[in-house]
């Protein structure tokens, strides 16, 4: 069978092929970077014919958007787990900063569990910022993260509303994003945990501070 044709005996649906190709793209991006993540390299890694790619995606850009969607979904899933950890802590009488700290630690475990996805996300975010057509996807990624964190903060007593809450959400996203990158760089779980604990220790001061106006 030619590598450019689709095996007609393969009964997988288009959605199953898309999932398989996204899985392969994440692995190739994490291991080899965007430059080497050609459609042929990705289909080979997935164990599919090259023609299967065009059966599942219109273009490589379409695949990139799907991978970025996978990254966003994974991060939002980790944030939902954080929310699930927050409410029992508050119900058990934890202070606002203690409950938020537990939620952040729960989110962090989700981040640590997906290093390949984190690496792929870095590759694609930088690429998207250089591509006017994809830049909105990168912006949407962080908009959705910030909105998910805002929803988390809405449940925390004493957190200000409006722009102050939005700014705090963006600050938390930026800090955790930086910690996650550092964790990828030094590959030291214990050091990552220490830095996260240091950040969690600052939460009381963050929640108690007065909003700054321009």
DSSP 116-131: HHHHHHHHHHHHHHT-
Alpha-carbon gap, residue 21 to 45, rounded angstroms: 9
Short-list 109, 38, 118, 34, CA closest to 72: 118
> How far apart (Å, rounded) are the C-alpha atoms in residues 203 and 192?
17
User: What residue segments make up the domains of the chain, in order of their start?
Assistant: 14-56, 60-208
**What burial letters (b/e) apply to 65-94, b meaning 16+ CB within 10 Å?**
bbbbebbbebbeebbbebbebbeebbeeee
For 70, how many CA atoms within 13 A lie in the half-sphere containing its CB? 24
- Please give the pLDDT value at position 179: 96
Q: What is the pTM of this model?
A: 0.86
Residue with token string 């991978």:
67
Give the fold, CATH level 3, of 60-208. Answer: Tetracycline Repressor; domain 2 (1.10.357)
Which CATH code for domain 14-56?
Answer: 1.10.10.60
Residues in the chain predicted with pLDDT less than 70, given as ranges, are 1-11, 210-214
Each residue of 132-164: pLDDT tens digit? 999 999 999 999 999 999 999 999 998 989 999
């Amino acid at each position: 069978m030619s590598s450019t044709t689709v095996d007609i005996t393969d009964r997988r649906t288009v959605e199953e092929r898309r999932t398989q190709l996204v899985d392969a793209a994440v692995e190739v991006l994490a291991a080899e970077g965007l430059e080497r993540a050609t459609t042929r390299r990705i289909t080979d890694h997935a164990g599919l014919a090259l023609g299967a790619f065009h059966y599942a995606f219109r273009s490589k850009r379409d695949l990139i958007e799907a991978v970025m969607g996978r990254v966003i979904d994974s991060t939002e899933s980790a944030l939902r787990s954080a929310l699930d950890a927050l409410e029992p802590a508050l119900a058990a009488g934890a202070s606002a900063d203690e409950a938020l700290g537990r939620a952040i630690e729960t989110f962090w475990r989700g981040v640590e569990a997906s290093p390949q996805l984190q690496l792929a996300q870095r590759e694609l975010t930088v690429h998207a910022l250089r591509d006017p057509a994809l830049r909105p996807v990168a912006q949407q990624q962080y908009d959705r993260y910030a909105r998910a964190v805002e929803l988390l903060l809405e449940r925390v007593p004493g957190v200000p509303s409006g722009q102050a809450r939005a700014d705090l959400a963006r600050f938390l996203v930026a800090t955790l994003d930086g910690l996650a990158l550092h964790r990828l760089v030094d590959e030291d779980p214990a050091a990552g945990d220490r830095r996260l604990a240091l950040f969690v220790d600052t939460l009381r001061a963050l929640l108690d501070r007065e909003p700054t106006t321009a």
